[in-house]
Amino acid sequence: MRQHQRKAVGAARNRPSYRSMTSLQGMENVGGRKFSHVKLSRPFEQGRHGTVARVSFFVLVLLFTAVAGFFPTSVEAKTSVEAKTVLAVPILEYHDVGHIPHDRFSMNPGQFKEEVAFLQHNDFHSVTLDELYAAFYTHGSLPHRPVVITLDDGYQSTYTTAYPVLRRYGFRATVFMVSGFANRRNFMTVRELQEIQRSGVIRVESHTVTHPSLSLLPDKKAIYQLLESKCQLSRDVYGPVEDLCYPNGNYNVRIIHDVRKTGYRMAFTTRQGYATPMDGPYQLKRIAVYQGDSLQHIRQLLAPSFRS
């Protein structure tokens, strides 16, 4: 599970609702109502030129008014879509913050605290996945310099180290929990999951049942991993589980279809970069943070935010 995660493969067909939010295709025709040519009747054609001119002008005004009544909708919709597409949010990807020597995914507790303090000092504001979804795909808004903090797998250090640090600095995060690892050695217990969920500091979401590479599984087994984890964690924390992180960053078109079918709202990858609505709700990028990364390196990873 601590092996270097492979890049995600495949591309997803987006939901129609998402496509309508992130693509301008077809919108050019919003105001494209066809008007039949208006032919003047015979008496007018035989009248004075001034009368014909006034009638022609009147007809043109009517046509312009009718067409203009449609184009603002198109322009407003186009502006709204463009506003969504420029949104870009860094989603930081952590794993174990309890430190195991020579494991780049296992971070020194002091480094995690340093990085959260760095975020606070530089006016970053943590946002939840609910807020991210609302901003990307409905009509929500985000604070100045938003950041999402995620912790994968559900190591016990999420409870013993990350939880108190986040609470101290007023930040919130999400843990993508492997449901079958709860109560195991080095992983959080169900009671600990319930506590962090109740606190509102860390939200519990799904990372499957046993952390397999989903695209390598037969479809029925992949669906089991997605659905059972969702249901089990929901029972454990007495709340909805709506989002997923792909184990090892592994997925393809079939898996995206399964994720949608099993009722997930968003899914997160290991593809590097800022997340944007253009990624689609099932292929959102993150930024991996490793043991030994300096604050200068963190600043470089977050450079787009410092330009805002």
User: DSSP for 202-214?
Assistant: EEEEE--SS---G
> What distance in Å separates the CA atoms of residue 141 and residue 72, rounded to the nearest whole number?
23
pLDDT tens-place string over residues 185-210:
999 999 999 999 999 999 999 999 99
* Predicted local distance difference test score (pLDDT) of residue 105: 86
Distances (CA, A) of 207 to 66, 115, 131, 151, 153: 53, 24, 20, 10, 7
Q: How far apart are CA 147 and CA 151, in angstroms?
A: 13
Cα-Cα-Cα-Cα torsion 162, 167, 173, 177, nearest 10 degrees, comes to 50
More confident residue, 55 or 288: 288
Gap between the Cα atoms of 148 and 14, Å rounded = 23
Would you tell me how many other CB atoms lie within 10 Å of the CB of residue 260? 17
Token pair for 226: 């997605």
Query: Are 84 and 132 a contacting pair, CB within 8 Å?
Result: no
Distance CA 177, CA 186 (A): 13
Tell me the pLDDT band of 86, cut-offs 50, 70 and 90.
low
Measured at the alpha carbon of residue 188, what is the angle toward residues 185 and 193, in degrees to the nearest 5? Answer: 160
Residue whose token pair is 């420029």? 86
Alpha-helical runs (H) found in 69-203: 71-85, 109-121, 129-137, 156-157, 163-169, 190-199
Higher pLDDT, 16 or 178: 178
Is the full-model pTM beyond 0.85? no
Parallel, antiparallel, or unpaired for β 243-245 and 266-272?
parallel
Q: pLDDT value at position 103? A: 83
Say yes or no to pLDDT of 51 above 80. Answer: no
Q: Indicate where the chain has its CATH 3.20.20.370 domain(s).
A: 87-306
Give me the DSSP letters along 7-40: PP---PPPPHHHHHHH--TTGGGTT-------PP
Is the per-residue pLDDT at 256 higher than 80?
yes
Largest CA distance in the chain: 97
DSSP 8-state symbol, 90: -
Look at residue 72 in the predicted model and tell me its pLDDT. Answer: 35
The string of DSSP codes covering 241-292 is --EEE-GGG---HHHHHHHHHTT-SEEEEEEES-B-GGG-TTSEEEEE--TT
Q: Between 1.10.20.10, 3.40.50.300, 3.20.20.370, 1.10.760.10, what CATH number should domain 87-306 receive?
A: 3.20.20.370
* Residue 308 to residue 144: CA distance in whole angstroms: 8
> 């020194």: which residue's tokens?
108
